[in-house]
Structure 1
């Protein structure tokens, strides 16, 4: 039964079909989830992958035999399971998805009541142990099963984030990457004044145009070409389960997620003066300056959805953003959404009269950044220690909230080991000095290669 151990990760389940994840394992996970959480009722949904529906049925069977009533919301994005769990006030939710992994993978993301995350520190290891040992207790009751369409309520909720009367008739390129986002755009477009140019719009688990992961540069060309061909105002692309969205300006340039965090913080502070905004520690200067200049409170949290959500709850923060294109919203049960961000950005463009390019250009020049650079290293811990020692006598401050952050007068960097793969991730930013940022980035990469 060693296959269980390989599919369970730090935050979720992800594995290759059928050796690491199959219907039998999905059933066992359902039984284990029901045994551990003892939920009365659980929402399930599934993404557009070819194996997702049958896995979700096996999962449902396990949940029901474990005594839980199952509410199946059908094919959806991960955030629709988060929404339905809190909207229907049930005890938990599970989405069958492998997001942007290759097409022969699948997985699951789990929440408990109020859509609170279940990850390694908060029950996922217990669920793994119970499933692995098949040590669940027999349930006295068989749970029921019903299907429910929560999408209309979800669409209604999305529209509450913007004043639709202020939206201008923007021309928007959207690229769902043959994932699940297209169906939501189709459901919401009649209520918005936008003209849509739809690229790779139809859901297709064969991924005929490559795995839906807009972070890969080779996947960006179709979006960029459509923006330029149609002279669109902006472009949006999503990953497969659309909990992350990525932006392109009217010229087709990719906008770093870091600057989107600042824009969304600004959007929320217009609506909620003096609110708290949570951000990750990789790149911070732009967000902190924007939030503080508008009278808000910028709060740094460790990277990762479980940490951000927990910190947001603690601080009652209205919005939390990670430069990796995860955006979290208090009114969305503190969960991440790939739909709310573009609505807010479109509203900002409409109200400010500035293009997305103009909105971010000023911030990009003020705080140029390297973007996240991944390096595969034998010994991440030793490398971080060597880098810290190298700069120890020059740094103004050193922070270990998440990996290693070192700050100097005119530049700073964050270097952290990935939670999910054998790489370290480097981010560098400077104060209005592109050349310095580039020079320090090159220097650090060389230092790490020789450490």
Structure 2
């Protein structure tokens, strides 16, 4: 059979079309068989860290109604492969990242579709030490085995253990801040009826126990797989209104919102203004460099001016990486970077196994607000004024393909002799402004980001110029 739900970095598909319980079983079994064979080879050779691991796979699932059934199907596949399973219950993706390393497991699976429509679901996979698995690093092998069904038989079934206690994970999150430095703050936290609610409760309890003067207004807090307030995706402008209004109504210092599996964190200032992810990257880079001078910071090439300026001003080492979690994590491991950030609201931390977390960013933000005595708008306004940007704009392709459009726009600006990089799509830098144009990995879209050095009128002019040019190429705003 052909399983069409495999993507570049994970597995995601429409229920009953490209993802069902049989497919989840096949994926679980293939994943377990491949990881267990690697473990057995390492044990026989006695020359690998793999041999020190526990021959088990951790698994969790989000709140979607289909997630538990898919998880149970994957569990059956794993135990039929003769590998033990640690079931974490209902979790966010970062809990699987944590548990994979905490329990020294062979790998981990989170059943989630994050912010995708309600008729979708998926599986995110990691191997030992919470390392990502991508199409060119194991995922294609898993797909081939799952599709062929040529599984090896096992002498015994794996054992299943239910471990839903989150204490170790919560305690680990708390190492990122000094609660003694926290000042009185009022927060609005919108969990989007996703998986974040229970973790928010545990974290706010910890803050209270530590004597932190933090007041929390919880919005859309109860996990509910029917998503009565819409799919939790704060990247959609219309989905921000509830958080923005609550910040204003309660006169809060900060608004926080999550997607369904809370691996992304979105921030709103005290006026209810949504803070673009690229400026959050700069803010967190500054927070880490204040604590850890001269460390490396990893960032993606879509929007760079502000991040590079912050890193330079605080004597950090700037390390650029192609966007996408597998690339960011690899570059962070290679450079030993303390923090990595993407404008898409993914934030990665060396002390969280080089993985992304949606909970650590807001904890760091309340610490930074407390230490500086500034509001969030005061912290980021300087960034925004110094390096205004368009935010990511998506254009749906109607005629030309993405490579043709990217080549044509390079030709259009060639005479202006911009500096050029192709690390991730096409980036052209003209000195006082730059843009990045890249193709989506999963949809017939191209994504555009434009930024300038302190020149808002120039930004507006270039947005209009490139939008009109793209329209002439058959690429219309999505």
* Corresponding residue for residue 33 of structure 2: 35
Does the Cα contact within 8 Å between 1:178 and 1:201 map onto a contact in 2? yes
Q: Give the ranges of 4+ consecutive aligned residues of structure 1 lying more than 6 Å apart after TM superposition.
A: none
Alignment equivalent of 2:139, drawn from 104, 124, 145: 124
Q: Are 1:77 and 2:99 an aligned pair?
A: no
In the TM superposition, what are the counterparts of 1:56-205 in structure 2 within 5 Å?
56-192=71-207, 193=212, 194-205=214-225
Secondary structure in 1 aligned to 2:417? Answer: coil
* Corresponding residue for residue 393 of structure 1: 415
Q: Are 1:426 and 2:467 an aligned pair?
A: no
How far off its partner does 1:191 sit? 2.2
Please, which runs of 5 or more residues in structure 2 have no aligned partner? 40-54, 474-478
* Corresponding residue for residue 357 of structure 1: 377
* Corresponding residue for residue 476 of structure 2: none
Does the Cα contact within 8 Å between 1:171 and 1:234 map onto a contact in 2? yes
Does the Cα contact within 8 Å between 1:250 and 1:356 map onto a contact in 2? yes
Does the Cα contact within 8 Å between 1:84 and 1:150 map onto a contact in 2? no
* Corresponding residue for residue 313 of structure 1: 333
For 2:392 and 2:12, locate their aligned partners in 1 and report how far apart those are by CA, in whole Å.
Answer: 23
Secondary structure in 2 aligned to 1:393? Answer: helix
In the TM superposition, what are the counterparts of 1:249-328 in structure 2 within 5 Å?
249-328=269-348
Alpha-carbon spacing, 1:36–1:259, altered in 2? closer, same or farther (3 Å): same
Alpha-carbon spacing, 1:386–1:347, altered in 2? closer, same or farther (3 Å): same
For 1:141 and 1:266, locate their aligned partners in 2 and report how far apart those are by CA, in whole Å.
Answer: 52
How far off its partner does 1:347 sit? 0.6
For 1:190 and 1:144, locate their aligned partners in 2 and report how far apart those are by CA, in whole Å.
Answer: 33
How far off its partner does 1:10 sit? 1.0
Secondary structure in 2 aligned to 1:246? Answer: strand
How far off its partner does 1:140 sit? 2.2
Secondary structure in 1 aligned to 2:416? Answer: coil
For 1:188 and 1:449, locate their aligned partners in 2 and report how far apart those are by CA, in whole Å.
Answer: 47
| Superposition TM-score, scaled by structure 2 size | 0.93
Does the Cα contact within 8 Å between 1:395 and 1:406 map onto a contact in 2? no
Secondary structure in 2 aligned to 1:241? Answer: coil
* Corresponding residue for residue 368 of structure 1: 388
Secondary structure in 1 aligned to 2:298? Answer: strand
Does the Cα contact within 8 Å between 1:43 and 1:71 map onto a contact in 2? yes
Which moved further from structure 2: 103-112 or 32-41?
32-41
Secondary structure in 2 aligned to 1:432? Answer: coil
How far off its partner does 1:18 sit? 2.1
Alignment equivalent of 1:206, drawn from 218, 226, 231: 226
Aligned pairs, how many?
A: 449
Secondary structure in 2 aligned to 1:365? Answer: helix
Secondary structure in 1 aligned to 2:390? Answer: coil
Secondary structure in 1 aligned to 2:217? Answer: strand
| Superposition TM-score, scaled by structure 1 size | 0.98
Does the Cα contact within 8 Å between 1:235 and 1:252 map onto a contact in 2? yes
How far off its partner does 1:150 sit? 4.4
Please, which runs of 5 or more residues in structure 1 have no aligned partner? none
For 2:321 and 2:347, locate their aligned partners in 1 and report how far apart those are by CA, in whole Å.
Answer: 13
* Corresponding residue for residue 53 of structure 1: 68
How far off its partner does 1:149 sit? 2.7
